[in-house]
Amino acid sequence: MALTAKTILLTGGTGSFGKKFTEMALKEHNPKAVRIFSRGEFLQMEMRKRFNGDTRLRFFIGDVRDKDRLYRAASGVDVIVHAAALKQVPTCEYNPIEAVKTNIDGASNIIDAAIDNGVEKVLAISTDKAVCPVNLYGATKLVAEKLFVQGNAYTGGKKTRFSVVRYGNVVGSRGSVIPLFIEQKRTGKLTITDDRMTRFWITLDQGVRFVISSIERMKGGEIFIPKIPSMKIVDLAKCIAPEAELEVVGIRPGEKLHECLLTEEESRHAVEYDDSFVIEPEHPFWDKNNSKGSKPLSEGFAYTSDRNSWWLSSEELTNMLKELE
């Protein structure tokens, strides 16, 4: 197993992904240690309580902008899962330099700390908003993806390898529309931006399991994309509050009608597996033998939320929402 008896550094470890990853890692993979790296002392205290002082957990106050602190946290680490980021689209638009410092400079610091500390595997969490970005958050995550893929060319003879996981909206996470709809349900009116809008959806459990499987599979330089369902936002709203009135308020700045996880251009150097797509790096270090068991994609293929072959049913969404209870 990729995490068994390993020391893991988890940036952004007190977020929704971080807590679920820690829960699964401790319960199912028995790592030697999980180092939670984040800025918030209160959230770390809450997390320490949640895990009843599990002795495999370590808590580091720090910011990915601070290279010295990252170097200390990465000492003796086998695996880094990089989930720290400024993620709120409006916040990034209003604070663009801060978004660059965290999402881009922070990624660069992770790469340096990993290589210089001899970390074996580094997996960064990305988003569908990094694909053909129309907002600053997506643009910073696109740059971060490029940095992590190209980071493999910086390692020289060292063992460190970098890869990326890219997926869509996480059901119930901070910033998801679902908690907003659940809150608005009490008022009898739900606000939607456009009745044509579609999104990819994945649960926290599914996202974490895909990340862990990608750590096991990664050779370095890949972008892993899970096959996940789509749903129209208006259908999502009707499922959550079937009796509520729907008010169309207009698309917001930096927002797309549909999201894309794999572009036509990327598909030319991507392959398909039963559960995922993998974008392979266009670099000399990539060994084509790494793609055994896959099949190439057809010319012109793109993986978008409006042209997805898998649509989320009301029953499937209801089962997803049970995770939030």
Q: Catalytic site residue 19?
A: no
Q: Are 165 and 125 in contact (CB under 8 A)?
A: yes
Single out the catalytic residue among 6, 87, 121, 129: 129
Instruction: Output Rg (C-alpha) for the chain, integer angstroms.
Output: 20
Which three-class secondary structure string do you get for 140-158?
Answer: HHHHHHHHHHHHHHCCCCC
What does DSSP assign to residue 297? P
Q: Are 51 and 26 in contact (CB under 8 A)?
A: yes
Separation between Cα atoms, residue 280 and residue 288, nearest integer Å: 9
Classify residue 83 as left (phi > 0), alpha (psi -120 to 50) or beta.
Answer: alpha
What is the secondary structure of 37-58 as a DSSP string?
Answer: EES-HHHHHHHHHHTTT-TTEE
Q: How far is CA 37 from CA 64, 66, 130, in A?
A: 9, 12, 24
Which three-class secondary structure string do you get for 76-112?
Answer: CCCEEEECCCCCCHHHHHHCHHHHHHHHHHHHHHHHH
Catalytic positions, please?
A: 129
